[in-house]
Amino acid sequence: MKLITGFGCALVLLLISGCSVYMAANQPPAKNIDLFKVGTPRTALLAEFGYPTASETRNGKKYEIYRFTQGYSGGAKAARAMGHGIADVLTLGLWEVIGTPVESSNDGNLTAYEVSYDSADRVDLVVALIQNTNTTPAGNSPGGGNAAATSKPNLDLSTQVPSL
């Protein structure tokens, strides 16, 4: 009976070990939010962030909202995965009880920006709609100091523009 119980516990540990390692290694990548500044071509935003979540024209001017999950650099993901792996080995898999929920809750930060463009399709205004303080280095505004906040944007974040 003790053999069956021991085998069952070992099987459970084997099945759950490695979840936090996998989750840490597969977190969303970091996006270059420094592109959200006056003068950036629209094509550069499309290349980095894909199609905008919402797009509309107001008073002859194009406005778009980019909503994305700001993730982590490759080095940060690798270090987290290695840390979880070492903790798994040292605790014989018990670390997963802590590591998996930690990785589940630290899966990037929802971030959103509204931008408007000039006649040459270059950014002329940036408004941070949703921004976690961890996504921008201290002292840096996404617009490089040139972004001016306007009244609350009225674009609907729930509308999805299909990507190709």
Residue 145: inside a domain: no
The per-residue pLDDT for range 121-135, each reduced to its tens digit, is 999 999 999 876 543
Q: What percent of the chain has pLDDT over 90?
A: 51
CB atoms within 10 A of CB 158: 7
CB atoms closer than 10 angstroms to residue 75 = 9
The count of domains in the chain is: 1
pLDDT value of position 72? 92
**Cα–Cα distance, 81 to 103 (Å, whole number):** 10
Mean pLDDT of 14-18: 54
Are the C-beta atoms of 131 and 111 separated by less than 8 Å?
Answer: yes
Q: Is residue 141 part of a domain?
A: no
Look up the domain containing 100 and give its range. 2-135
Non-local CB neighbours of 112 within 8 Å, separated by 6+ positions: 53, 65, 66, 67, 68, 128, 129, 130, 131, 157
Q: What is the mean pLDDT of residues 37-51?
A: 96
Residue 161 lies in a domain: no
CA–chain centroid gap for 106, Å, is 10
By residue count, the chain amounts to 164
**Residue 163 within a domain:** no
Reported pTM: 0.65
Residue 150 maps to a domain: no
Phi, psi (deg, nearest 5) at residue 158? -80, -15
Q: Which helix (H) or strand (E) holds 64?
A: strand 61-70
Q: What is the crossing angle of helices 96-105 and 74-90, to 10°?
A: 160
In a domain, 106, yes or no: yes
3-class DSSP assignment, residue 40: coil
